[in-house]
A = this chain, B = another copy of it.
């Protein structure tokens, strides 16, 4: 089954482990979020692409939930001792990747080419595609002002309520090479259990990506990131409550109007009907281990088969 998955960082990356295990890696294409990319210490960091890279390469730190296993922090300690920019936590092994990426970008290679090269070096068999090679960045409007995603999320600990989300550069952003083909060739399109506003939203903000999903001839299945109306981690529930008026399946589905056929929700969120003719499918969505991830991926495939 050829699946193309839209994904944010950590939660999406865990879900992708299940998809790759069920579908085989070379049948899976991943369209990753770049809205939270950031320049730190002169380096181009793509946190969501990297979470996916590290998860699929088996080098992610499972306990910490982000970054690389066996990580050390000596470069950043040295930066801090010298009064440099140390608010964004970059480990030593992680830094190595950012150095390579930044140098290749500096040579004029597009992010998609660089990401493909990193993915191959790390042994990935799936295609990992940034949504776009163009500069697209997520900004949030809050009562305290407008912030870039990472400034709000990391530096301010995402404590400010979000009144609106903007994706600068989205209107003129072209899908990266391979993205439209991956959507057109897929037998199944999946939206990972990532934050609809800051992880999936920036991908869907690229006009040609949204249009390709709107005109799909295969099922599109989203997995809700909420369990019992609560985010497993992060601010998705607070954002939904404020921006969509609630944290139920209906509000999650409303984020993907016209784009999905099925919303996979947790047992704790059972819903009988959803707006826009979206079919709710109940499963267990907490991805505690490999088995749970596989079960969730299989539930997605079954749900797609049922609407096909």
Contact = CB atoms under 8 A, between A and B. Distances in A.
Interface string A68-95: 0001101111110111110000011111
Nearest to A78: B96
Interface string A33-65: 000000001110000000000000000000000
B42 A82 contact: no
Contacts of A212: none
A41 B43 CA distance: 10
Interface stretch (A99-107, A157-165, A178-186): A99-107
Given A41-B103, A42-B106, A92-B72, A97 B82 contact: yes
Contact of A77 (B74, B93, B122): B93
B79 A99 contact: yes
A291 to B, nearest CB: 30
Contacts of A216: none
A77 B74 CA distance: 14
With a 10 A CB-CB cut-off, give which of A77, A84, A99 has the most chain B CB atoms.
A99
Contacts of A79: 96-97, 99-100
Contact of A95 (B78, B97, B100): B78
A118 interface: yes
Nearest to A81: B121
* Nearest 6 Cβ contacts at the A-B interface: A78-B96, A84-B100, A74-B92, A75-B96, A79-B96, A92-B92
Interface of A: 41-43, 71-72, 74-79, 81-85, 91-97, 99-100, 102-103, 106, 117-118, 121-122
